[in-house]
């Protein structure tokens, strides 16, 4: 088990930053998922932590030990990490047990200990009866579990997983996600997972970091990321969210009075009077003939016992398509009036001084290079500048 602390971590390729002054701390035993659009720097960040890339600046500490920083670079094999990749990278001519023992042999552990540790790791991933098989005699999910067992056998303090489920079909991914959660809890090892799939990240992780163009936009618990996005990018990226420009009239006790057309509504949020964004997710909207918002129906299909409607949200700045659930089939082109049962308000421009939160912490509306910590372990669950 180890904590992971990054400070101002940067890496550029040909002058273009792939990871740009990223700072965060996650506690020992965390399951951190890194999420973001293609090319945002997730893999580069993972490779920096692994020691497969050297940073241009900043520091990496694992379990409090400096792994990279000014004048320090600990090579990958000395970082005490496990790595699991999309490709599994199993030796095809070796049995499952042989593959799991491989790293222990390299470490020259006594044979009896190798066997005991391999058996324990295979038990943890539920493959205790498959030790004698060859990799080609296993399913994709089983092969991925062997790769995980091989890492666990080394008893690393941190396991790095790079898109480990990408080669599996949807059903198997679900199963493996549940397995990952179980194995993470049973082993007590900290996990860092890079994934394209936000459902996967939100389902499995204790902490989720959203990256964009090399920067960390927000690092928070999944439900915080969902309910209180720190930036418009996070609001749009996570859960098919949309942002509608609104006028904020004032803020009090963690809620904002906003004007939409001729209506004044009170919505949770942290924005001062002025231009703001109303961040919406599909479940924040419900049909309401007297509602302040509206959407034109583009398409509708019957799924899960209800009509899932794709609508074009009136006034949204970012394309505006949003999914709604109705209990009747709407006409294509129909205008639906929508009421609010949720939402979150952000300021249009990043604030120089974050507004105080009702719980006494300050929230970063735009994480800055000076933002040193994400105090997840100590009570505050937002990307936080509170000193
Ligand atoms: N070895 C390299 N040489 C040059 N550019 C690189 C190298 N590795 C990564 N990059 C660039 O750095 C940026 C971040 O890449 P990275 O692979 O970290 O993103 P990612 O978020 O993991 O993307 P994806 O989700 O598509 O895998 C991209 O613009 C990529 O082209």
Cα dist. 220→25, 121, 214, 381, 382 in Å? 11, 30, 17, 6, 5
**38 Cβ below 6 A of ligand 1:** yes
Testing ligand 1's pocket by substitution, the residue of 20, 33, 41 carrying the most ligand atoms inside 8 A of its CB is 41
Residue 225: closest CA among 34, 7, 4: 34
d(CA 75, CA 273): 51
Taking the centre of ligand 1 as the mean of its atom positions, its distance from the CA of residue 54, in whole angstroms, is: 14
Residue reference for tokens 């030790």: 131
pLDDT at 351: 59
Residues 6 or more apart from 163 whose CB is under 8 A from it? Answer: 85, 86, 194, 195, 196
pLDDT in the model for residue 2? 84
ipTM entry:
0.98
Centre of ligand 1 to C-alpha 10, Å, is 13
How far, in Å, is the centroid of ligand 1 from the Cα of 42? Answer: 8
Name residue 15's beta-bridge partners.
none
The pLDDT value recorded for residue 123 is 87
d(CA 54, CA 160): 17
DSSP state of 242: E
* SS3 at position 115: helix
Measured distance CA(245)–CA(227) in Å, rounded: 18
Residue 238 CA to ligand 1 center (angstroms) comes to 21
Global pTM value: 0.82
17: CA distance to ligand 1 center in Å? Answer: 10
Cα separations in angstroms, 202 against 3, 166, 225, 376: 20, 16, 9, 16
Could you tell me where in the chain the CATH 3.40.50.300 domains are found?
4-219
Collapsed DSSP state (helix, strand, coil) of residue 221:
coil
> Residue 243 corresponds to which tokens in the numbers above?
């942002």
Tell me which fold the domain 4-219 belongs to.
Rossmann fold (3.40.50)
Q: Please give the chain's pLDDT, 387 residues, in tens.
A: 689 999 999 999 999 999 999 999 999 999 999 999 999 999 999 999 999 999 999 999 999 999 999 999 999 888 988 888 776 678 889 999 999 998 887 778 888 888 898 998 898 888 889 889 999 998 888 888 898 888 888 888 899 998 887 777 777 778 778 888 888 888 888 999 998 888 888 988 999 999 999 999 999 999 988 888 989 999 999 988 888 889 999 998 889 999 987 889 999 998 899 999 999 988 899 999 999 899 999 999 999 899 999 999 887 776 678 888 888 999 999 999 999 999 999 998 765 555 544 444 444 443 443 343 333 222 233 434 333
For ligand 1, atom 24, the nearest C-alpha belongs to 38
**Res 13: pLDDT:** 96
DSSP 165: T
Decide: 147 and 86 in contact? Cβ < 8 Å. Answer: no
Asked if residue 39 has its Cβ within 6 Å of ligand 1, the reply is yes
């Amino acid at each position: 088990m180890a904590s992971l602390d990054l400070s101002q971590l940067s890496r550029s390729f040909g002058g273009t930053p792939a990871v740009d002054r990223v700072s965060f701390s996650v506690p020992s035993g965390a399951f951190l998922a890194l999420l973001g659009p293609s090319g945002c720097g997730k893999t580069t960040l993972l490779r920096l932590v692994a020691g497969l890339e050297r940073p241009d600046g900043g520091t990496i500490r694992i379990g409090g030990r400096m792994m990279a920083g000014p004048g320090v670079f600990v090579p990958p094999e000395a970082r005490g990490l496990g790595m699991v990749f999309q490709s599994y990278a199993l030796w095809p001519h070796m049995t499952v047990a042989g593959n799991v023992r491989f790293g222990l042999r390299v470490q020259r552990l006594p044979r009896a200990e190798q066997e005991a540790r391999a058996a324990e790791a295979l038990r943890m991933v539920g493959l205790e009866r498959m030790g004698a098989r060859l990799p080609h005699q296993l399913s994709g999910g089983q092969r991925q579990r062997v790769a995980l067992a091989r890492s666990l056998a080394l008893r690393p303090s941190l396991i790095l997983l790079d898109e480990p489920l990408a080669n599996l079909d949807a059903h198997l991914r679900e199963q493996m996600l549940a397995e990952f959660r179980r194995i993470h809890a049973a082993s007590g090892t900290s996990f860092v997972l890079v994934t394209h799939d936000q459902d996967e990240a939100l389902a499995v992780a204790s902490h989720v970091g959203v990256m964009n163009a090399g920067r960390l936009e927000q690092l928070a618990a999944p439900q915080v990321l969902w309910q209180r996005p720190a930036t418009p990018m996070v609001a749009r990226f996570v859960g098919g969210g949309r942002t509608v420009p609104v006028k904020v009239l004032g803020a009090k006790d963690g809620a904002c009075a906003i004007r939409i057309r001729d209506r004044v509504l009170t919505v949770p949020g942290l924005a001062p009077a002025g231009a703001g964004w109303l961040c919406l997710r599909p479940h924040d909207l419900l049909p309401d003939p007297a509602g302040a918002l509206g959407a034109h129906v583009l398409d509708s299909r019957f799924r899960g016992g209800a009509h899932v409607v794709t609508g074009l949200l009136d006034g949204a700045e970012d394309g505006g398509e949003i999914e709604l659930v109705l209990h009747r089939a709407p006409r294509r082109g129909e205008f639906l009036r929508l009421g609010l049962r949720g939402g979150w308000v952000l300021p249009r421009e990043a604030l120089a001084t974050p507004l105080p939160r009702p719980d006494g912490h300050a929230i970063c509306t735009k994480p800055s290079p000076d933002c040193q910590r994400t105090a997840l372990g100590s009570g505050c669950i937002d990307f936080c500048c509170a000193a």
